């Protein structure tokens, strides 16, 4: 059971992560939405490897950021769902594998969940009836490749630095 101090720290960490995620998306709005979305905030999707509070923080931050998405409520719900699923699977990878192995596998859950779910949202919201299957392939590829790039180029160094310099109370 966590102490009150541990619970407060967990909530503060989750809130800070949510705020940072949302602010990064809003500040970089021109590149943060659409099929070719380069969201530097997505680098934080690797944090569940070492920081349990990042699971709710990322989910809430994504939902808040998607209030400004051109795709409305569907993107708020399904974008946050993709983030939640990715964070939970990333957390499981962190618990099951050594950190040295987990850090290299951690970009896969955010890449796959975002490619499939966000690619599906974009297809549903923009593609014509007869062109949905090929459109889904294109959207899933575009979202996935951008997500993988952000997670690999920014996320891995971020989580390596966090592992070295930040020592959370709850593991």
What digits encode the pLDDT tens for the residues 93-126? 999 999 999 999 999 999 999 999 999 999 999 9
Tell me the C-alpha distance between 140 and 136, whole Å: 6
Tell me the C-alpha distance between 68 and 109, whole Å: 24
Structure tokens at 11: 């909530």
Tell me the C-alpha distance between 76 and 68, whole Å: 9
**pLDDT confidence band for 160 (50 / 70 / 90):** very high
Neighbours of 70 (CB within 10 A): 10
Q: Under a CB-based contact definition with an 8 Å cutoff, are residues 108 and 155 in contact? A: no
Q: What is the pLDDT of residue 171?
A: 45
Dihedral angle at the C-alpha atoms of 80, 18, 150, 167, nearest 10 degrees? -130
Q: Is the model's pTM score more than 0.85?
A: yes
Structure tokens at 166: 């930040």
- pLDDT tens digit sequence for 118-153: 999 999 999 888 899 999 999 999 999 999 999 999
Q: Which sign does the torsion angle of CA 22, 24, 28, 34 carry?
A: negative
């Amino acid at each position: 059971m966590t102490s009150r101090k541990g619970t407060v720290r967990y909530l503060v960490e989750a809130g800070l992560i949510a705020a940072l995620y949302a602010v990064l998306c809003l500040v970089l709005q021109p590149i943060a939405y659409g099929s070719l979305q380069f969201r530097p905030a997505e680098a934080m999707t690797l944090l569940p490897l070492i920081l349990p509070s990042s699971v709710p923080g990322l989910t809430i931050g994504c939902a808040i950021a998607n209030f400004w998405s051109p795709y409305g409520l569907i993107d708020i719900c399904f974008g946050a769902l993709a983030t939640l699923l990715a964070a939970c699977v990333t957390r499981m990878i962190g618990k099951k594998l050594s950190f040295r192995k987990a850090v290299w596998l951690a970009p896969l859950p955010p890449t796959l969940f975002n490619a499939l779910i966000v690619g599906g949202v974009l297809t549903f919201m923009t593609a014509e009836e007869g062109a949905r299957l090929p459109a889904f392939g294109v959207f899933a590829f575009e979202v996935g490749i951008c997500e993988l790039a952000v997670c690999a180029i920014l996320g891995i160094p971020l989580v390596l630095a966090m592992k070295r310099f930040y020592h959370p109370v709850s593991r």
